[in-house]
Structure 1
Amino acid sequence: TKLIWVETPTNPMMNIIDIEAVSRISKKHQLLLAVDNTFATPYLQQPIDLGADIVMHSATKYLGGHSDVVMGSLVVNDETLAKRLYFIQNASGAVPGPQDCFLVLRGIKTLHVRMQRHCENGKAVAHALKSNPNVDKVYWPGFEDHPNHDVAKKQMKDYGGMVSFSTKAGTLESAVKVVENLKVFTLGESLGGVESLAGHPASMTHASIPKEDREKTGVVDSLIRLSVGIEDIEDLIEDLRQAFA
């Protein structure tokens, strides 16, 4: 079986794929379309309704929401496909424990209220960064000048809590200084928890990619990725301000 795998929007540049358009292509060529919907969550986006065959979630992130579980899920609405995936799961032993399941079920109960706050805070942080003279570019799909804004507006309920930006200085040292000075944001590679996290892709998530290849996709040395949590927004904005100061 041939498969098209789409991650939306799971990279530091917040690129968003038009799921309906890719679905038309996949069906034309009799391909399965799988979408990683971790960043958007079912609250903001429903890929199966947009034509996807398989939807993946890292339940460790927003679904769990509290950074205390390791789990993933595949969601389908086709019984035959579900049985094929279950056979693989059963054969490989990828079965979560009862405590992990409990933690994710607990997290799902508050998913809607958490995502609302993530979106509100993400918007406020994105606008604060855009007006900061020490910031060069801000990547957040809610901005009308974002290259994928129209796609996000069409297929998402809101724009999520992930924000990336590059420093005006444009150097690795300037980005490292900012993340080292943060007090409320914690330096970490994960995302989707109630706490705010900051990551430096060039030295963390994308460190194994050659610099030339990284920069072709916009992942420059001065890029910082934020997973904006649900803390008081004034605390988050003040933390970013003092980190630059």
Structure 2
Amino acid sequence: MDMNQHPETIAITAGRPEVVPDGALNPSIVLSATFHAEGAIGYGRYGNQTWSSLEEAISALEGGSTLAFSSGMAAINAVFSILPIGAPVVASNQGYSGAMSLLNSFHESGRLEVRFVDIVNTQSVIDAMKGAALVWLESPTNPCLDVADLAELISQAKKMGIGVAVDNTFATPLVQNPLAMGADIVMHSVTKFLSGHSDVLMGSLSTNDPALFKRLLEFRSVNGSIPGPFESWLALRGLRTFPLRFNKAQENAKALVPKLSAHPKITRVRYPGYGAIISFEVDGSAELTQKVCESSKLISHATSLGGIESLWERRRRWPKESLSVPEQLIRLSVGCEHVDDIWDDIENALASI
């Protein structure tokens, strides 16, 4: 494959079978747990041809070798699990609630020493790096959409010999490429933008360090946090249209931001300038904010993001969400519907309070 091609082309062409007369254009779904001996796979927990096709496609987009996992949380857990007991980890004090819950539990148990920082305060993050084993970065953060200076933080961490892992779910490789900046690992919740149809749970890790790849592969093989072949096939099919979906949703988001900012019932709009996620705060109580989410007709009131359909929710309805997230904050994952229809639905929902 020509790695100089544009991501729109790579998403369509990567992970295809070898071209042979009468060969299939698309990879097959290999439904087998058992493989004949003396091959490269050996057993169904160690590999699968359908996984490999998906991994090849994500690798081409991120610029590193990729492993698919059964979920984004399985991928995140793999990164932390290969660290020594008590290893110091620098991480944002607010971000994806699943990762935050895991980090808090590891910190409380002594499994890891987690140093929670304000990710937008670059110097405080750098100061916390001394002696750390890993810097875990999420930019933009979920759901407050804080943006870290990734290039500077990665550069400083590497000067200190510290590993860097970046959750690239929100920005995606269409916006930023952390491995090219020097990061060691890039994580995706494939569930979100990459697969994009709200029908797959999956995660991935990409790295250009062969030794690190081997350790993560060994962890996945022993731990069993593997994806299903059918889910891998669905994810790859979804990835074919990932750039089209992301760009359209981003276009819609950029059109909605000024409308939201001008609405009298909205006190603050958070948007990093790219992507398809907008977070905004309602002028009212948590109960009134919840009513807004429950009053939509087009936008689905549901937990997730990155799908072709628009979704929203009040994030603090979840007890494990960070207390730094305002009670009145709504996270809106903008989909690919007509932007005027999305806005009409938002206006009608806000009119309910």
- Same fold per TM (> 0.5)? yes
AA aligned to 2:302 is G
AA aligned to 2:256 is V
Displacement, 1:125? 1.6
AA aligned to 2:346 is L
Match of 1:194 in 2: 308
TM-score, length-normalised on structure 1?
0.86
Cα-Cα RMSD: 1.2
Who wins on radius of gyration, i.e. which is larger?
2
Match of 2:186 in 1: 55
Match of 1:78 in 2: 209
The 1-side partners of 2:290 and 2:211 are apart by 49
Contact 1:10 1:38 in 2 (8 A): no
Match of 1:236 in 2: 342
Contact 2:268 2:280 in 1 (8 A): yes
Displacement, 1:173? 2.0
AA aligned to 1:160 is G
| Aligned counterparts, 1:29-178, within 5 A | 29-142=160-273, 159-169=274-284, 171-178=285-292
Contact 1:4 1:26 in 2 (8 A): yes
Higher RCO, Cα 8 Å, sep 6+: 1
Deviations 1:2-55 (A, max 9, x none): 211111113221001111111122112211100000111112221111221100
Identity across aligned pairs (percent)? 43
Report the secondary structure of 1:26's partner residue. Answer: helix
Deviations 1:160-191 (A, max 9, x none): 0000111123x112201211111111111111
Displacement, 1:134? 1.1
Report the secondary structure of 2:144's partner residue. Answer: coil
Contact 2:140 2:272 in 1 (8 A): no
The 2-side partners of 1:53 and 1:18 are apart by 16
The 1-side partners of 2:183 and 2:150 are apart by 7
Contact 1:43 1:111 in 2 (8 A): no
Structure 1: tracts of 5 or more residues without a match? 143-158
Displacement, 1:121? 0.8
Displacement, 1:238? 0.4
Match of 1:220 in 2: 326
Displacement, 1:88? 0.6
TM-score, length-normalised on structure 2?
0.61
The 1-side partners of 2:137 and 2:177 are apart by 14
Contact 1:19 1:51 in 2 (8 A): no
2:142 is the alignment partner of 1:11: yes
AA aligned to 1:45 is Q
Structure 2: tracts of 5 or more residues without a match? 1-82, 84-132
Contact 1:6 1:35 in 2 (8 A): yes
Report the secondary structure of 1:42's partner residue. Answer: coil
AA aligned to 2:290 is V
Contact 1:19 1:52 in 2 (8 A): no
Contact 1:71 1:96 in 2 (8 A): yes
